Structure 1
Amino acid sequence: MGVYFGVILVKSEAASWYRIQEMFRFEAFHMFGLIGSAVLTGMLTTWLLRRSGARSLDGQTITVAPKERGWTRYVLGGATFGVGWGLAGVCPGPVFTLLGAGVWPMLVVLGFALLGTWLYGALREHLPH
């Protein structure tokens, strides 16, 4: 599934630094369309899971936990994610796809993504949740 997802990212140009920069400059609709279709697919899938009472392979009902109230964590998290995305020109998903395609500078992005994940784990107790 990972290889299939990687091929989709490359073929749809979702892993393209140029497409991502076009989106941030509001020069093209391409990435907004991709992201919008992903959001709609997620909304539809979540609605179907809730409505159908779907069960996992071990028989447990699949549930979707409600979001926590408040805006601080979402704004801070979104801003941090957005700054990283803007600086690197890529969100975390396509990093491995680009590495697989031979874009070796993504090793720097992967290193900092792992560092950021480690820092969050180390500082989690002191952050607003």
Structure 2
Amino acid sequence: MKIVRYLLIGIFFGIVLVKSEAVSWYRIIEMFKFQSFHMYGIIGSAVTLGVIALWLMKKSGMRNTEGTPIHLIPKDKSFIKYLAGGSIFGFGWALGGACPGPMYILVGTGVFSMLIVIAAAVLGTFVYGILKDKLPH
């Protein structure tokens, strides 16, 4: 029954992203060219909502679906690591025209060329898995 709930939430989220044009290639290109505030507003709203949700989770002692307390592990403060990872992510986002979540939404809307981008993302993840032990962490 949980999977049906998650599937319905995912479908709703996909509809919201399509209707807000957050999965539009043109909106993404506008963002990377600094021509429109639209995507920055969506991303900024999501970050703000995430900060508030995490604060509430910490204050209320919220538990996960299994009933165990949620523990947030502090992040490493390495600026270079996050700059490099974010740059690689942004480069892939700019080349593919979508970040990982919207790739699947775009396939659902009939943009089947996104299957190539999904295959490339899966291949990249596979290569990272092979090279993970050789990379600095």
State the TM-score bracket (shorter-chain normalisation).
over 0.9
Q: Select 1:24's aligned residue among 32, 44, 47.
A: 32
The answer to whether 1:127 aligns with 2:125 is no
The answer to whether 1:84 aligns with 2:92 is yes
Q: Aligned residues, how many?
A: 129
Aligned to 2:53: 45
The answer to whether 1:14 aligns with 2:13 is no
- Superposition CA RMSD, Å: 0.9
Question: Normalising by the residue count of structure 1, what TM-score does the alignment of the two structures yield?
Answer: 0.96
**Cα drift, residue 58 of structure 1:** 2.6
Rounded to whole Å, the distance in 2 between the matches of 1:58 and 1:16 is 37
Rounded to whole Å, the distance in 1 between the matches of 2:84 and 2:135 is 11
SS at the partner of 1:72?
A: helix
Further displaced range: 26-35 or 51-60:
51-60
Rounded to whole Å, the distance in 1 between the matches of 2:63 and 2:90 is 35
Sequence identity, in percent? 52
**Cα drift, residue 57 of structure 1:** 3.1
**Cα drift, residue 53 of structure 1:** 0.7
The answer to whether 1:116 aligns with 2:115 is no
Question: What's the CA shift string for 1:15-40, capped at 9, x where partnerless?
Answer: 00000001111111000000000000
The answer to whether 1:65 aligns with 2:73 is yes
Rounded to whole Å, the distance in 2 between the matches of 1:93 and 1:69 is 26
